[in-house]
Structure 1
Amino acid sequence: MTVIRLYDKPECPFCWKIRLALFEQGLTVEHIDSLAPETRETWQSLTPRKTVPVLVNGDIVIYESNVILEYLNDLSETLLPEDPTQRVTARLINSYSDGVIGAGLREVIFEKRGNAEADRDHKRIEQGIAQFETALDYLSGQLGGKTFFADSYSLPECALTARFGLAEAYGVEIPDRFSNLRSWFERMKSRPSYRATAPQHLLS
């Protein structure tokens, strides 16, 4: 039986959402650290973008995270709802997570990661947090009082769990006014997949 290989980076949100998807599906996977010098040449030869994640399953090589998610759904039919309208919703929110939620958080994380407090651009951090909080308005409206963003655990849960997990790790909180999002994230953190896939240094 072919074992899926995932060239991975612990704090990469695109990698983390793939780890969540794989765990939720119960698929056997070999995680390969893309930061290890001995693996860099191998995985970079597989992708023109020279970025991770890169998933390899036999002769199939996929180097774009959302295409990986679609492929994983094709394997198990568990990451997208059956209803066509709900499938569109799931895909749109997954895209929103990458393009809008991720944009503000990126500013905060890139500024805080590796920089001492005195060396940080605090205006950049404040602007990133403000951008993140503004982006939550749409998400809160989309979630409403539902358990999941679509009618079951799907792509948005993978994507947003990773984003919110990194936000929390870098001191960016979901404001109290978004109580449905705070409750949603607590539910996601209580799933076995969260602890199994989160960067271990963020759990300590």
Structure 2
Amino acid sequence: MARLFHVPLSPFCRKVRLSLAEKKIEVELVEERYWEADPDFLRRNPAGKVPVLKLDGRMLAESGAICEYIEETRPDPALMPRDADGRYEVRRLVSWFDDKFHNEVTSKLLYERVNKKVTGQGYPDSRNVKDGARAIKYHLDYMAWLLDHRRWLAGDQMTLADFAAAAHLSALDYISDVDWNRSQVVKDWYAKIKSRPSFRSILADQVPGFRPPPHYADLDF
């Protein structure tokens, strides 16, 4: 069985979990307090970051590289298009969410509200929280524009781009930081993706000291 060293609300870990579940790869989840820099964990990944996946006798790090490894070694069901243009668009959007969205939104909201408390780094910076709350509106509007033109974020098929976006939004939804009333098309997209069997373990996550809103695990909001 595969083993994933993870943190429940990490969007990067959640993206890998979604990929594994969609491919029906059984995995043992091991919560990792990466901020404690445990020597055993640093041997698994000297970068000191989660996720780390043990699969096929290998220790794999970096969520993007992990997801592409899974895709290349377990191509069915496909989470990447076959054509070069389609694959480019998926990679562009994965980078958008894991880089731009993460820096402008996730790090300002989730990390301030949750990670600081969990890791003992103090209280949230109110300016960062305000900046994140403002920035997420722009990103939701961009998603709405994409979904007005496409069935899924990157095209007509569900891809890793959808998992990257859903990983960030689900983590933020756990702390009620997503205004689902801003866009009906984005809300419909999220309801569709979170109703998939691959989302079940994520919706069952519980983080001590933080209670999700009632709609978090409600497939119909």
The bucket for the TM-score relative to the shorter chain is: 0.7 to 0.9
- Residue 111 of structure 2 is matched in structure 1 by 110
TM-score, length basis structure 2: 0.79
Tell me the amino acid that sits aligned with residue 62 of structure 1: L
Task: Report if the CA contact (8 A) 1:91-1:156 is conserved.
Answer: yes
Provide the C-alpha distance between the structure 2 equivalents of 1:86 and 1:20, rounded to a whole number of angstroms: 20
Unpaired segments ≥5 residues, structure 1:
none
- Residue 59 of structure 1 is matched in structure 2 by 57
* Residue 168, structure 1, aligned to residue 169, structure 2: no
| Number of positions where the alignment pairs a residue of Structure 1 with one of Structure 2 | 198
- Residue 80 of structure 1 is matched in structure 2 by 80
Report deviation, 1:178. Answer: 2.5
Name which of 176, 182, 187 aligns with 2:187. Answer: 182
Q: Secondary structure at the match of 2:13?
A: helix
Provide the C-alpha distance between the structure 1 equivalents of 2:113 and 2:189, rounded to a whole number of angstroms: 26
* Residue 101, structure 1, aligned to residue 101, structure 2: yes
Q: Secondary structure at the match of 1:144?
A: helix
* Residue 143, structure 1, aligned to residue 151, structure 2: no
- Residue 153 of structure 1 is matched in structure 2 by 158
- Residue 11 of structure 2 is matched in structure 1 by 13
Provide the C-alpha distance between the structure 2 equivalents of 1:33 and 1:5, rounded to a whole number of angstroms: 10
Residues 105 and 161 of structure 1, relative CA distance in 2, 3 Å threshold: same
Provide the C-alpha distance between the structure 2 equivalents of 1:121 and 1:26, rounded to a whole number of angstroms: 40
Report deviation, 1:57. Answer: 1.8
Report deviation, 1:172. Answer: 1.5
Report deviation, 1:43. Answer: 2.7
Question: Percent same amino acid at aligned positions?
Answer: 25
Task: Report if the CA contact (8 A) 2:10-2:171 is conserved.
Answer: no
Tell me the amino acid that sits aligned with residue 102 of structure 1: H
Unpaired segments ≥5 residues, structure 2:
207-211
Task: Report if the CA contact (8 A) 2:108-2:132 is conserved.
Answer: yes
Provide the C-alpha distance between the structure 2 equivalents of 1:74 and 1:44, rounded to a whole number of angstroms: 26
Q: Deviations over 1:98-134 (max 9, x none)?
A: 112222122112222239xxx6443321211111212
TM-score, length basis structure 1: 0.85
Residues 50 and 120 of structure 1, relative CA distance in 2, 3 Å threshold: closer
Name which of 124, 128, 135 aligns with 1:131. Answer: 135
